[in-house]
Structure 1
Amino acid sequence: MFERTSNIDYVILEKTSSVKALGSSLGLDASSLPVMEQLGLLNDFNAVSKPVRQFNFYNEAIESIGVVDFSCMPEIGGYPAIILDRPAFYNVLLKKLPKEKILYGKKVSSIEHDEHSATVKCADGSDIVIGADGAYSAVRTNMYKDLAARGKLSASDAHPLSYDQNCLVGVSEPLDPSDHEMLRRETCDFEIVIPKTDPFYAIYMPLPGNRVSWAVIHNVPRAEAMAGDTKLSEWHPDASVDMSNFVRHQPSPFKGTLGDIIDKTPKELISKIQLEEKFFESWYDGRVVLLGDACHKVVPSAGLGANLAILDGVHLCNLLVDIPSTSLENITKVFENYYEKRSKIAQGALTNARQFGKVMSDRGFISEVVRKLFLNYIPDWMTRWSNAQRLQYRSQLHFLPQVPDRGNPKAQPQEPRMFVDAQVA
């Protein structure tokens, strides 16, 4: 995929024996697609995705209650937002990764690190350990245990994750496009049903191959959420049956009901998870650092999680590739810069996702008024401004040939190269 230019080698530890990409779909946009173009993956992603045009909102009678237009995204960022199913996303990445760099069946049980090296119990010693293993990160658990033992773990980070939503997701088998005009479009419109009475809403996303990616998000009463077993946040196909029965009566924009779409989805591609959000205050300790959901868990309402994690990786990679040596002093400088720059962006994304989720999730008269204002009376210039603010960070890997910035307005200037620019100065 590209020639490594740093003295830092890498290996990926995967706790399962093989990658089984459960879930519904994910979105990539102009914040992460320039990097995919640099890596030679853009055409692969375009081939298995659809560009997003707009979000269409309906009530329980499948009557339109508003539209949010995203057709300005290619102009603002230079790329459309795209939607693809998770198996397709993983397949594109795995096709380019050297097979010998992925070690399967490697569940992290402990981490030791000092001034000279870091060692994961199930792997060889290394210079650093990057925990990109999700909301219930084993790397974070070990790191926080060590911080707590030294009295350096904050009260917020010591508090366990809680959840307030159940989510049922799946990807249908191919449907007949002659029966569904939505499938015949070259673009993907999110079809979102928000009923007045049901405590859940449904999202339908047409995919290539006449398939439909769908998700149902159900608000959980606070008492139940606080008492819930948040370890169930892992993807569990077997846990989906009860929720499937609970939601299947809701009318669908694809004719019939949500239950009809569920019945056209292979059971192994249906899973239930619990959704939570949290900004963790401690992102690194010594030679251990966290990335993505492991340090900033975002609910999927606004589709920001994947792009945030990719840009975390880009920023960290740009710092590490220039590091003159892997001394603890240099590693600390890298991690401090990484946290300073990325944590502010992550906090903003959590706020945006929370606000968008409330617009879709909350019930009651006031919520109905807010939703009506949001969906029908926000001027186009405000929507454009909001997207421009979100897409202003379009970082690229500085050690690869740069791709043109096709967006308007232009992206934020690339971060200075910490070690190289400092030496030049």
Structure 2
Amino acid sequence: MSKPKDLRVIIVGGGLAGLMMGIMLDKAGIDYHILEQASRLRPLGTSISLHPVIIDLMDQLGLLQDMNRISKPLRGITVLSANGRKMGRIDARSNKRSKHGHQAMVMSRPDLHEYLLAKIPPHKLTTGKRVIDISETPSEVTVTCIDETVYTGHLVIGADGAYSATRQIMYQRLKDHGVLPESDKKPLHFDKQCVVGITCPLDPNKYPVLQDESCEVKVLLGKDQHTSMWILPLQGNRMAWCVGGPDPHLIPQDESDNSSQGSNGSRSGRDWYPETAVEICEDVRNFKCPYGGTVMDLIDATPKGLVSKVLLEEKMYRTWYNGRVVLVGDACHKIVPFFGQGASQAILDCACLVNMLVEFTAPPTTSDLATLFQTYVDTRSETAKVASDSSREFADLIYEQGFKADLARNIVLRFTPTWLLRMVTGTVNSNRPCLNFLPPPKSYQQKI
């Protein structure tokens, strides 16, 4: 296959989606540059799960062996009451494993980010670049940053998260021309929050579960309250945890108000303050830790710099592109973060776009890109929506309280519905996407 000639891509955002896009473009022989608004990349978060279909892509990119070293295969999810009574279990291995040749892998999100970042040549990523304008000519697109630096390419990929500056610039122009759909003008929906963290290395003699080769997720549900706690053993003798529930302090804001956003695209100010973490974590003080001791032992063993707040936001946007600008990941479909749906869907977005871009043997016209981008949306939007709906249903299943909610949980955990099994095992895709310009993954070759 001919390599794309003289094609240059500007990627806005140095998160997981932006880094994966850069790695894929590099393998495709396409020139790119990543612009990140933060002056220093400081990945936060807790654990992340990558689905079997994603692992095939990692195999093609030559990343799988290293990623196996920083992750554990997902064995299952056990749901417990706050006092330790088992309520049910979902087997994440299932009979679908033979179809994919892999199990989902669970790892530290900061570890994954740092690993992918190391794969990007330093001259291909520039930090401290807040994008404030995007302009186009018939053949090129120019990105202007707040420090008045400019970058020129043939297309812009907005991989800058839920509060995407790329999307805001694109939408403002569509709004000015009266062609932005009403649904895209509405802000993100969020009604829940969580505090997440990763402990420092713990003593495996005290917590023998750390020596297990696979990861069993424990979900603790509070009684007569909407709070839950998730605990996941990771590589490196660490445990990831998440304490979450509805946030009565949140006041929805219009996304055009950037004054309250931090450099990583998350909300800051009135909804993120030290007392928030204390308040949320106090709700689980009496929860029984399934590994002995108390759940507060795990929270207290977490360095303050590895504790962060996450808003459980969601929104499926209708408009994913305009002109020479296209969106991927959270910028166009923000999914409630359960079992890596957001990250996995973002990576699939990247693979879909790169497969199409590699077909060009010369820089594309704006008309060429319009056709490509629409095919990308047609290919990805339905699967992304299924993933979003499944994540929302699972969030409601976990956080809702009352007799009916308890009954629903008991039924679901005894007779796992297809939508939940697909979400956990990563089989929301009926096909197995791969990078067409690279040799097929080993799991494909083994069946030939």
Q: Normalising to structure 2: TM-score of the pair? A: 0.85
2:125 aligned partner: 102
In structure 2, the CA distance between the partners of 1:384 and 1:327, relative to structure 1 (3 Å rule), is: closer
Question: 2:301 aligns to what?
Answer: 264
* Residue 369 (str. 1) matches residue 407 (str. 2): yes
**Structure 2 counterpart of 1:43, which letter?**
Q
CA offset at residue 323 of structure 1? 1.8
Which range moved further: 164-173 or 179-188?
Answer: 179-188
**Counterpart in the other structure of 1:58:** 80
Q: Tell which deviates more after alignment, 355-364 or 70-79.
A: 70-79
Alignment of 1:149-160 (within 5 A): 149-160=176-187
Where does residue 413 of structure 1 map in the other structure? none
Q: How does 1:100-179 map to 2 (within 5 A)?
A: 100-122=123-145, 123-179=150-206
Tell me if structure 1 keeps the 8 A contact 2:80–2:87. Answer: yes
Aligned residue for 2:277?
Answer: 243
Give the whole-Å Cα distance in 2 for the aligned partners of 1:229 and 1:23. Answer: 24
Inter-CA distance 34–240: structure 2 relative to 1 (3 Å threshold): farther
Partner of 1:333: 371
The structural deviation recorded for 1:381 is 12
1:383 Cα deviation (Å)? 4.3
The amino acid of 1:80's aligned partner reads: Q
Contact 2:227/2:244 (<8 A) preserved:
yes
Q: Quick check: 1:348 aligned with 2:386?
A: yes
Q: Following the alignment from structure 1 to structure 2, what is the Cα–Cα distance between the partners of residues 299 and 309?
A: 13
Secondary structure of the structure 1 residue equivalent to 2:280: helix
CA contact (8 A) 1:77 1:388 kept: no
Q: 1:285 aligns with which of 296, 308, 322?
A: 322
1:357 aligns with 395
Preserved contact between residue 171 and residue 213 of structure 1 (Cα < 8 Å) = yes
Query: Partners in 2 of 1:243 and 1:236 — Cα distance?
Result: 13
**TM superposition score normalised by structure 1:** 0.89
CA distance in 1, matches of 2:419, 2:187: 40
Report SS of the residue matched to 2:410: helix
For 2:292, the equivalent position in structure 1 comes to 255
Does residue 10 of the first structure (1) align with residue 32 of the second (2)?
A: yes
Q: Any idea what SS the aligned residue of 2:132 has?
A: coil
Q: CA RMSD in A?
A: 2.6
Instruction: Give the equivalent residue in structure 1 for 2:266.
Output: 234
Shift, 1:247, TM fit: 2.3
**Which residue in the other structure is 2:60 paired with?**
38
Matched residue, 1:322:
359
Provide the C-alpha distance between the structure 1 equivalents of 2:321 and 2:418, rounded to a whole number of angstroms. 41
**Is contact 2:187-2:254 (8 Å) kept?**
no
> Are 2:431 and 1:393 aligned?
yes
Shift of 1:138: 0.4
Amino acid of the structure 2 residue aligned with 1:255: G
Deviation of 1:256 after TM superposition, in Å, equals: 3.2
Aligned equivalents of 2:243, 2:228: Cα separation in 1: 6
Aligned length: 407
1:296 maps to 333
- Aligned: 1:185 with 2:185: no
Distance change in 2, residues 1:287/1:385 (3 Å): closer
The answer as to 2:48 corresponding to 1:48 is no
- Cα offset for 1:301? 2.3
The alpha carbon displacement at 1:250 in A equals: 3.6
Q: Relative to structure 1, is the Cα distance of residues 125 and 388 closer, same or farther in structure 2, using a 3 angstrom cutoff?
A: closer
Unaligned runs of 5+ in 1: 411-425
Amino acid aligned to 2:356: L
* Secondary structure of residue in 2 paired with 1:79: coil
Residue 25 (1) aligns with residue 25 (2) = no
- Quote the Cα distance in structure 2 between the aligned partners of 1:352 and 1:380: 10
Are the counterparts in 2 of residues 247 and 258 from structure 1 also a CA contact under 8 Å? Answer: no
Q: Is the 8 A contact 2:196 2:241 kept in 1?
A: yes
**Between 317-326 and 248-257, the greater mean CA deviation after superposition:** 248-257
Aligned sequence identity (%): 36
